[in-house]
Homo-oligomer: A and B are copies of this chain.
Amino acid sequence: MTAPEALQWSVDNCTIQRSLEIMGDRWSLIVLREVFQGIRRFDDMTVRTSIPRQVLTARLRRLVDDGILRKEPYRVPGQRERHEYRLTEKGLNLYPVLIALQEWGNRYLADPAGPPIEFAHRDCGEPVHLVVRCAAGHDLTGSREVVGRIGPGAVRRATPAAVGD
């Protein structure tokens, strides 16, 4: 057999990879889950998760540096000023990633009662789900209808893989 065609192409500009580099590890997505649930303060973020405090500090800094969260100051009477974390537009636009992870988890890993967290349509209150649609307007009904392929920004690798087996 010949080598898969994809091997001839570089993934240096892969946007999946770049997204994952910003996410860093699963803790970043857990932090975002908490913020999406209205949990915005450092100490509160440690209540439901087992995230180590120094990891949380690092992940929050990274998410702020990358423009996904922004810091908002607040002050409790008698205490020093602190800040809480809010989603930016860029951060809010990550909700399909959380929904996609949750839908897969709901299918394969859920307890019978269902998930403890839900995403809903703000206007009508109904829960939301993801639909895969193609540019011709077809809604896809199964995973076998999707195919991965070389994209418009593909660049040939400088040192192509030896074609062989």
Query: A residues near B, CB below 8 A?
Result: 3-7, 9-26, 29-30, 33-34, 36-40, 44, 47-49, 76, 89-90, 92-111, 113-124, 126-136, 138-140, 143-155, 157, 161, 165
Contact = CB atoms under 8 A, between A and B. Distances in A.
Contact of A17 (B30, B108, B126, B149): B30
Listed residue (A10, A111, A139) with the most chain B CB atoms within 10 angstroms of its CB = A111
A38 B132 CA distance: 21
Given A16-B102, A44-B7, A161-B44, A151 B96 contact: no
A116 B33 contact: no
A136 B153 contact: no
A126 to B, nearest CB: 4
Give the number of times this chain occurs in the complex, counting copies: 2
B145 A136 contact: no
Given A135-B126, A148-B37, A92 B14 contact: no
A122 to B, nearest CB: 5
Given A26-B23, A133-B128, A10 B47 contact: no
A150 B126 CA distance: 13
